[in-house]
Amino acid sequence: MNPLLHKFETPFETVPFDKIEPKHFLPALTEGIKIAKEEIRLIKENTEKSTFTNVCEALERSGSIVGRTASIFFNLHSAESNDEIQNIAKEFTPLITEYSNDIQLDAELFEKIKSIYNQKDSLNLTGEEMRLLEKQYKGFARNGALLDEAQKEKLRSIDKEMSNTSLVFGDNLLAETNDFIMVLDSEKELDGLPDSAIEAAKMLAKEKGHEGKFAVTLEYPSFVPFMTYATKRELREKMYKAFSSKAFRGNDKDNREVVKKIANLRHERANLLGYKTHAHFVLEERMAQEPAKVNEFLGNLLDKAKPVAVKEMDELKKFCKENGGVNPDDFMPWDYSFWAEKLKQDKFNFDSEQLKPYFKLENVVEGVFTVAKTLYGISFKERRDIPTYHKDVRTFEVVDEQGRHVGVFYADFFPRSGKRAGAWMTTFRDQHVVDGNDLRPHVSNVCNFTKPTETKPSLLTFNEVLTLFHEFGHGLHGLLSKCNYESLSGTSVYWDFVELPSQIFENWAYEKECLDLFAKHYETGESIPQEFITKIKESSSFHEGRQTMRQLSFSKLDLGWHGQDPSSVEEVDKFEKEMMQECELLPTVEGSNMSVSFGHIFRGGYSAGYYSYKWAEVLDADAFEAFKEAGIFNKEVATKFKENVLEKGGSVHPMELYLAFRGKEPTPDALLKRAGLL
C-alpha cells in the first residue's frame, strides 16, 4: 500500500514519515497526476453554465495528491536527501513540470477561466474570490496560454530543461559543500577559536572518521567561527578559497555552464511570453513592478551606504595594521571577519562569544514561543506522537487562547550531510478551507545551528538567534493564515512582501523586554546583563554600511543575470565582476565566484527578486516603529498586524494590507535611521 495515496491516519493528518519510503514517490505522483487530469477533464466538459464555483474553485481544489506528494518530496530533497532521493528527483521534477504545463497550456480550460474573467465585475465576487480569479487568469496568461501550439511546445521544452538544470545546480553545490574537509592535527592550529568551536571541531573530526584530530568544513556552524576567530591567517585563506570556489573548480561539479544555461533559458522563456527580460516577467507580479524601479531603489541605497562603507573599511584596515596585522593594501577578504570582530570588541568592549552562554538553543526556541504567545495568544505544545523524517526534528501542536488547534510546527535545527546549507521556512500543508472545513497548516523551520557537544548544549551566536527569529516570523505567517484558498494562504504573497513578517520579527531580539524572557545563562540561570543588551543595541549597526553594500552587490548580480539578455556572457567570473564592481570594497580573489553557488537565485525562488530583502527591510523598520511607539508587546498593535498582515496571506494586495496596518505608505527613513546611514 502506498501511504501517499491514502488519507493520513496520524495526529492532525500529519505526514506519516515512518511509513513513507523513497519508492513510494514516483507511483504516487503518477497516480496523482492521473486523478488531477480527470478532475480537469470534468471542469472542461461540464455542460452547465460556467461559474466561479464550477471553474475557478474546482480548479483550485484539483491536484491535491500531486501538491501533497511534491511538497513532501521536495522538502526531503532539501532537508534529508540521499543518492536515492537525488536520482528520483531526475524523473520526479520533469513530471511535475510537464503536469503544470499541461494545465497552464490547456486552451479549453483557459477559455473557461477567460469567460469568468471577462464578466468579473458583474459577478459580485468577494475580495478574495476576485484575487483568486485574477491570479488564475494571469497565471495562465503569464505561463503561455495565449501562445500558439508551436510556441507552447517550445515553452514546454524550456520548462523541462530549466527544472532539470536547476536540480543539477543544487546537487553540484551540495556535493561540493560536502566534499571539502580541512583536517587539523593539533589544537594549536585552532588558536583563537572559542572552546565551544574547538570542541565542535573535535567532534566533527570524530564523526568524519578522523578520531583525535580536528575538522573544519564549509557548513556555516563550522566555517563562520573559524573565519571569525582563527589567528592563523594562512588557514583562514585556505578556508575562504575553498568556500568561495565551490562549484567553480573546473571539475564535473562546476556550475559555470549550468548558471549560464539557467539564465539563458529564463530569458528565452520571458521573450517567448512577450517580456523584454526575465526580470520584467517576474517584477510584473511584485510590489516593485519593474526593473527600473528596483534599480532606482538600489541606487538610492547605494548612494547612502557607500560613503559609510568606505569609511568603515578604511578604519578597519588602519586598526588591523596598528594591531599587528597586514598593511591596508594587503588586506584581503579572509581578513575581514577576523579583524571586524576584533574591532567590534575594541569599540564596544564586547566579544560576541560572551553572549553565547545566554543563548542556549532550547531557551531561544522557548523565547520565540513566548513572544508569539504574548503578541498573538498562541501556545506551542511539544508532541512525541507526530512522525518525523529525522530523529533531530521536534514537533509541536499550536493552539490559541481558547485551546483550539491552530497548526503543527516542525523544528529541524542541526546540519547533516543530506541537508542543504542555510535556513528556511517551508510547509507540508498550507492552510485552506474545504467544504467549510478549515484545514490548518503544517509548518516547518529548517536551520543549521551548532550541534550540542559532549560537554555543552547547542549555544547560538546572536546572528543565529536573529536567524531563528527570522524563520519563525515566516512560520507565524504560515501558521496564522485565515484564507479560503490554498494558493492565496500563508506565505503565498508577492515575493517582495514575504520577508516583512520574518524581518519584523527579528526586531524583538534586540529589545530588553524580549531578551529578559529567555536569555539566561545555561549554567547559572542568570539573566543576560543589561550591559550586554546595551552593547547588542549599540553594536547592531556596526558595519551596517558594509553589510548593505554586500546585499546590494548580490541584488545587482541577480539583476545582471536576469534584467538583460545574458546570451553574450562568456566568462561567468568576468561578468560577475562587472555587475558587482561598484559595490566591491575588497579585492576579488582569483578562483572565487558567487554566481555558481548563488542558490537563492539559481535554485530557490529569488531570481530577479533578491532586492526584496532590502525592500522588506524598509517595510519592517517602518512597521516596527508602530510597535515601538505603543510598546513592543502592545496587544492592540499586535492584533492589528495579525489581522491585517499575518492572517490575510495573498488574499489582498500587499500595499492595501500595509496601509490597513500602518495607515500610511512606508518610507526608507526608519531603515536609514536604524542602520546609521543617515
Catalytic residues: 471
Among residues 576, 542, 591, 556, which one has the least CA distance to residue 333? 591
CA torsion sign for 467, 289, 581, 249 is: positive
The single residue listed with the C-alpha cell 494586495 is: 653
Among residues 632, 593, 552, which one has the least CA distance to residue 172? 593
How far separated are the first and last CA of the chain, in Å rounded? 63
Backbone dihedral angles phi then psi of residue 299, each to the nearest 5 degrees: -65, -40
Using DSSP's 3-state secondary structure scheme, residue 546 falls into helix
Among residues 101, 91, 104, which one has the least CA distance to residue 30? 91
Using DSSP's 3-state secondary structure scheme, residue 216 falls into strand
Question: Cα separation of 442 and 430, whole Å?
Answer: 7
Question: Cα separation of 288 and 298, whole Å?
Answer: 12
Q: Which residues contact 25 (CB under 8 A, 6 or more apart)?
A: 4, 69, 72, 73, 88, 92
Whether residue 239 contacts residue 224, with contact meaning beta carbons closer than 8 Å, is answered with: no
Among residues 155, 169, 47, which one has the least CA distance to residue 103? 155
Among residues 627, 650, 651, which one has the least CA distance to residue 639? 627
Q: What long-range pairs does 517-521 form, CB within 8 A, spacing at least 24? A: 517/367, 517/370, 517/371, 518/363, 518/364, 518/366, 518/367, 518/370, 519/358, 519/359, 519/363, 519/367, 520/358, 520/360, 520/363, 521/357, 521/358
Using DSSP's 3-state secondary structure scheme, residue 437 falls into strand
Kind of pairing, strands 442-446 and 405-412?
parallel
User: Cα dist. 22→27, 99, 410 in Å?
Assistant: 10, 21, 21
Backbone dihedral angles phi then psi of residue 385, each to the nearest 5 degrees: -105, 10
Q: How far is CA 214 from the centre of its chain?
A: 31
Question: Cα separation of 78 and 76, whole Å?
Answer: 5
Among residues 156, 313, 281, which one has the least CA distance to residue 562? 281
